Amino acid sequence: MGRQRIVPYRRSVPTDRLAISLWDFSWYTRATDAYADLDDAVAQAVARGYNALRICAAPLLLAGGHGLPEELGVTSLGAWPGGRRGAGTRWYDVPRDATVHLRRRLFALLEAAARHGVRVILASWEHQQSPAFSADERWWRAIDAVPHEDRLRDLAGAFTALLADIRAAGLLDAVAFVELHNEVDFSRVPGDAHAIDEAIGLVSREHPDVPVTVSYGKPPHRDIASLPGSLQVGQFHVYAYGVLDALQRRIDVRGTGTDGFPNAALRALLRDDAPTLAEYGRPEAWRLEATVVTDQMLYTYDAVDPARWDRWLHEHYGEHRDAMHDAIRARVRAIGAWARARDVPFVVGEGWVGYTPLRSTFEDGPVGQELAETGIAEAVDQGAWGAVPTSNAAPHHPLWGDVAWQRRATAMIRSA
C-alpha cells in the first residue's frame, strides 16, 4: 500500500512541462535595469521558450503582519572606493539604489505572466538573503526576531494572506505553486518534517487548490524517503560542484575570518589591479547576518580575474567530468523514484554546476551546457514536471544573450 499525501490539493497539475527561469529576488532588486519593464522581461522569457518563472514573492514583507512598508528601498551590499560590493557576483550585483513598491510590482508581474501564458512559482528567500538588499535593517530585524521554531508557521500565514489577495485579483491561475521557503536545508527555518507538514497544512486548509511545498538545496538522495510526507510538489536543486568545489576549497572562498586570507592560491587568480582585503572592506554586519554569502566570497568574486578562474576550472575539469555527469544523473533518478512512489510531481528548480563569478563562462559555455543537457535529459526521462535550463539563465545574467541555446534547452524540457 503506497504512502498517501498528508494534505491533498484539488487543482490538477497541468500536463504542460515547465521550462523555468530563475528570477529569484533580482526581479525587484534590479528593478531599474534588467527588470525595469516587467512585461518586456516576461516577453523575452517567452521568446526563449520559458513558460514559468521562479521568484521571491517576499511574503513576510508583504503579508507577514510585521508592520513593514510595502515600498522597499533597495541597495547593494555596500560600497568600497572601487565600486559597489557584489559587482562581480551573480545575484548580488545590484547596480544602483532604487525604491520599489513591492506589492504593486508583484501584481504587475502576475498580470504580465497571465497575459503571456506564463506560470509563476511563488517562493521566499527571506530567511536566506532577500532582506540584505534593503536600504535599512527593519525587514531583517523583524523576521529574525521570530523564534526559529515558528518561522515556517509565520511563512504559512503570510502566504495564506497573499494568496487570498491574488485570488481576489483573479490572478490565481498565474500561480504554478507555492514554495514556502527556498532551500530549507540551507536557510534559517525549521527543516524537520513536523514543521513542514504543519506549515503546508495551514496553507492548504485555506487554499486547497494551490500546490504547496518547500525546496531543498541538496536533496538527500541517499535517504530521500525521509522527506516530509506533505510535500505536494518535489522542488529540488541539483548541483554537481565537482571541479568548482575543488577550486572553492583550494582558495577558501566560503569561509569568513580565515587567518591569512587571501591565500597564495587565490592571489594567483586575482586581477592585477585587485584591491587588498583591507581596501575592499566588509558589508555592514547586519547585511552579512541577513545573507548566507560570506565576506570572503564577496571579496573573491569581486577581485578575481574571470579568465584565470575559468582557466583553472578547465585545466582540472577532466579529473571530475565523469563524476559530475554521474552525480547529476544519480540525483535526478533518486528524485524521480521518490516522486513516483509518492505520486507527486517534481521540478528541478535550480542546477547544474554551482555558484560562479558573474563573468565566468565555465557554466555558460560548452562544458556547463553539456552538464545542463545531461540533467535536462535525465529529468525528462524521469517525468519531471519542470526544470531550469540552468540557474544562470535569466535577464540579469550574461547567458540571457545566448538565445539559441536557451531555446534548445527549453525545447528539450517542454517537448517531453
Residue closest to 212 by CA, chosen among 224, 199, 221, 225: 199
Instruction: Give the number of other Cβ atoms within 10 Å of residue 330's Cβ.
Output: 15
- How far is residue 38 CA from its own chain's centroid? 19
The alpha carbon of 356 is separated from its chain's Cα centroid by a whole number of angstroms, namely 14
Q: For the structural domain made of 18-240+326-414, what CATH number should be given?
A: 3.20.20.80
Distances in whole angstroms, Cα of residue 79 to Cα of each of 93, 119, 232: 11, 36, 42
Q: Along the 416 residues of the chain, how does pLDDT read in single tens digits?
A: 333 344 444 445 556 899 999 999 999 999 999 999 999 999 999 999 999 999 999 999 999 999 999 999 999 999 999 999 999 999 999 999 999 999 999 999 999 999 999 999 999 999 999 999 999 999 999 999 999 999 999 999 999 999 999 999 999 999 999 999 999 999 999 999 999 999 999 999 999 999 999 999 999 988 999 999 999 999 999 999 999 999 999 999 999 999 999 999 999 999 999 999 999 999 999 999 999 999 999 999 999 999 999 999 999 999 999 999 999 999 999 999 999 999 999 999 999 999 999 999 999 999 999 999 999 999 999 999 999 999 999 999 999 999 999 999 999 999 96
Which H or E run contains 136? Answer: none
For the chain, give every domain's residue range.
Answer: 18-240+326-414
Q: Which three cell numbers stand for residue 277?
A: 582585503
pTM metric for this prediction: 0.96
